[in-house]
Structure 1
Amino acid sequence: MSPIVASAHAPAPTPRRRRLGNETLFRHLIRVSQALAGRLEFQAAIQAVSDELAAILPHDHLDVCILRQDLHIAYEAGAHTDWSLSAHPLPVEGSPIRAVLLGQEPYLISGDALADPRFHFAGAFAHPIFNENLQSRLHVPLLVRGEIIGALSCSKRARDFYDEGDIPFARHVADVLAPYFYALRSAEEASRLAIEEAEGRAREDALREGALRLTEELERERQRIGMDLHDLTLADLTRLHRRIARLREAGGAGPDVLEAVEAELARTIGGLREIIDDARPNILQLFGLAEGIEDFLGRALDGSGSGIGWAFHDLSAGAIDQLSEPLRVALFRIVQEAVNNAAHHAEPSLIEVELRREGDALSIDIRDDGIGFASLAQRKRVGGLRNMQTRARLVGAGFQIGRRADRRGTLVSLQLPLTEGHGSAA
């Protein structure tokens, strides 16, 4: 084992403590075991242990480090450091006590960890030792059936506080703690796996439901286009055909008659183009989502003679251009459905659509100043809302619908994380 290294200009060593008798130590171990009872999380358990150990193994900092494959996570009492405040488990290779965690040393003890080279190496996550001035350190492994599941660590800010006489007692404490923390780790792992399995099933169910609803929607859309072609375009073409036949039988026609036929033919072509544009958003594909939404608002509201005003605001700072084409089409269809719902059912005087970037997410708001919306239970037809929810879920976007903050009209909101996957073709 490496020698203990002393710091320059260090204070005098701490006087040796009076050792407790075996019976007293045994009673304290029983109290440690009792303190663990009912503690169902790591942090609560280590805090309870810290309170019981304070009299017999004094410390300014106590932590239990738990292994999870090649990572470890610490739970602390007393001083709290970046060892436990880190948002994610840390690699074992960067732990200052990796020698204990990897079984290379049976224990570690140091009178001055600020200068002890065993705690400081390339890549070591050791700055909390300096930040909290943890000079005296004692570390023993947590063993379950010969397997190292973590380590128990005690630290004091005073130099040379612990000695070899503290090792047996620390090991006794570790033997009491190890099975309990092993059970907590196993329960936590089982819970995590159960949650992941449930989430996986929920995703599969959502995808199946989404695929079914989109199939139904596509079938309804096919039927709608067929009815539009039958009721509008085919009827107009049939009428033109009959009119031209009558002209041929009459042996000619004057300019006025031909002009009327030409106007009716132009109207039929325009109606057919509207059907095609509604089925295939050309502006969206050619110029992008912002231009596609603005063009749709103009055609749907200005061109319909509804008298509904509209406004469009693109505050996305170019985030829209990062989206793949399938994603742009999905978002366009949600906006299209929301605007059509508002125009047909909410009696608004104004519909607004706003795109904006909020950190690493894209937000789309569709607002109207109409009469509001009914709950799902009150709605006679909920297909449009469910279509929007399904489309949003399938592209990983958050979806909310509710009253506006000023209680006037409805607000439909989408939040799409701008992840790497959303920036590529899906």
Structure 2
Amino acid sequence: MLQIASPALLDHYLGISRLLAGQPDFRSAIRAVAAEVAHIVPHDHLDVCVVMVDGKYHTAYETGMETAWGGLSAAPVSNSPIRTLLWGDVDFLLTDDATTDERFHFEGAFKRPIVEQSLKSRLHVPMKVQGDIIAALSCSSQTPGLYTMEDVAKARAIADLLSPYFFALRAAEQAQRSAIVEAEARAREEGLRQGALKLTEALEQERQRIGMDLHDQTLADLTRMARRVERLSKTGDITAEALESLSRGLQHCMQDLRQIIEEAKPSILQLFGLAQALENHLDRSIRESGLPIQWTLTDDSEGALETLEQTVSIALFRIAQEAINNAVRHAQATSIIVHLRVEDSRIAIDICDDGEGLKGPEGRIGGGIDNMRTRARLISARFAVGPGQCNVGTRVSVSLTLPRRSGPTEGERGAMEARQ
């Protein structure tokens, strides 16, 4: 039962109930009732400290003085100066001078606002729903010795009025947060599904490309040489010149096969690592193009590339390979710069050129950029493509969080075995 001292106080209690109606969030609710609360319990600072559903964290919504408490989005209950109240160890907290009261000054306590704002008189009561503490109502004043047990009773009555509304707000906020998390999870799942489909299509295209290369190059060469051997065997005209021609043809055929295999499976990556594989691909691509392109590759990864799983390394290699190929074949660039680095516990690869830049929203080759983006998504990496420095050329960037070390990775084991 509420112990109402006078009709005037009753009117203020009813005013609190009326002002709560329709308030959409914690902050607007506490600010709406602050004036009515001040008529019942005078204060310089008023806040409601809401305990999150997990019980481990809390956040404060304040009015009157603005303090560092109001800037907390989530702080451990264990660091709150009123943790004993939030844990249910005490029924209330009442002090004449919180700046010197040892209950508010333990190791790790977030007590700075008490000292900075000189919040001496402090009164705290729990806000409960079905016996569980969901929050705490706190009244503070710079005047020492202001509050009495009579104020504690009044504050409890106010807390009883606020508790159901704040409980509903907390439940609504939790439901909204859960809905957002679920929506993000579904979006990620759908993104991965679409990414897997795109990558499957890309792999099928790659398989068809390899098949066409084998048919158009290797098989055609072998067929031509087989017919030549057949003619020589029939005519018996097997001369040194004819054998030398056949030998050159076989060497050319083997070279084509090596090129097809190298593009299908980056063996240098497995043997010597990502940086060496990219440098080799960059050098070979530019050399074979015959274009006067200057290039540099800088490895500032500090050995972090060696911590990546082989599947991740291959995905990063394919992304960088596509970016390099685009720059060499389509950009008409005179310079390509590849930079491998570690920043904020993330490994990053940047490929920059000074060429024509992106010709449309999907870049120079839409399918290639889609494939790069898909590969990045499937290894949970960030991917970005846009103008280079001073809006010249194109910059392709991919980065991902470094894994924690726990012994040799799959890639390192494969590399060590290959070197042995």
The structural deviation recorded for 1:114 is: 4.0
Please say if residues 32 and 49 of structure 1, whose CA atoms lie closer than 8 Å, have aligned partners that are also in contact.
yes
* Counterpart amino acid of residue 317 in structure 2: F
Partner of 1:383: 367
- 1:394 matched to 2:378? The reply is yes
Q: How far apart, CA to CA, are the structure 2 residues paired with 1:420 and 1:26?
A: 61
- 1:269 matched to 2:267? The reply is no
The structural deviation recorded for 1:391 is: 1.0
Partner of 2:418: none
3-state secondary structure, aligned to 1:406: helix
Residues 153-192 of structure 1 correspond to what in structure 2 (within 5 A)?
153-192=138-177
Partner of 1:10: none
- 1:113 matched to 2:91? The reply is no
Partner of 2:332: 347
Q: How far apart, CA to CA, are the structure 2 residues paired with 1:26 and 1:61?
A: 23
3-state secondary structure, aligned to 1:396: coil
* Counterpart amino acid of residue 25 in structure 1: L
- 1:76 matched to 2:58? The reply is no
Please say if residues 307 and 403 of structure 2, whose CA atoms lie closer than 8 Å, have aligned partners that are also in contact.
no
Please say if residues 352 and 396 of structure 2, whose CA atoms lie closer than 8 Å, have aligned partners that are also in contact.
yes
3-state secondary structure, aligned to 1:74: strand
Partner of 1:7: none
Q: How far apart, CA to CA, are the structure 2 residues paired with 1:424 and 1:170?
A: 60
- 1:90 matched to 2:90? The reply is no
- 1:58 matched to 2:42? The reply is yes
Please say if residues 60 and 156 of structure 1, whose CA atoms lie closer than 8 Å, have aligned partners that are also in contact.
yes
- 1:305 matched to 2:287? The reply is no
Q: Which runs of 5+ in 2 are unaligned?
A: 412-420
Q: RMSD value over aligned CA atoms?
A: 2.9
Please say if residues 392 and 398 of structure 1, whose CA atoms lie closer than 8 Å, have aligned partners that are also in contact.
yes
Q: How far apart, CA to CA, are the structure 2 residues paired with 1:283 and 1:85?
A: 52
3-state secondary structure, aligned to 2:198: helix
Measured against aligned partners, the alpha-carbon deviations of 1:368-408 in whole angstroms (never above 9, x if no partner) come to 222222334798x6321211111111112222222224232
Please say if residues 357 and 363 of structure 1, whose CA atoms lie closer than 8 Å, have aligned partners that are also in contact.
yes
The structural deviation recorded for 1:125 is: 4.8
Q: How far apart, CA to CA, are the structure 1 residues paired with 2:8 and 2:324?
A: 76
Measured against aligned partners, the alpha-carbon deviations of 1:339-359 in whole angstroms (never above 9, x if no partner) come to 223333333233322222222
Q: Which runs of 5+ in 1 are unaligned?
A: 1-19
Please say if residues 60 and 72 of structure 2, whose CA atoms lie closer than 8 Å, have aligned partners that are also in contact.
no
- TM-score, scaled relative to structure 2: 0.86
Residues 189-200 of structure 1 correspond to what in structure 2 (within 5 A)?
189-200=174-185
Count of equivalent residues: 405
Measured against aligned partners, the alpha-carbon deviations of 1:217-237 in whole angstroms (never above 9, x if no partner) come to 111111111111111111112
- TM-score, scaled relative to structure 1: 0.84
Residues 285-364 of structure 1 correspond to what in structure 2 (within 5 A)?
285-364=270-349
Q: How far apart, CA to CA, are the structure 2 residues paired with 1:323 and 1:85?
A: 38
Change (3 A) 1:213 1:240: same
- Larger proportion of helix: 2
Change (3 A) 1:105 1:186: same
Change (3 A) 1:349 1:119: closer
Change (3 A) 1:121 1:356: closer
Q: How far apart, CA to CA, are the structure 2 residues paired with 1:153 and 1:357?
A: 46
* Counterpart amino acid of residue 232 in structure 1: Q
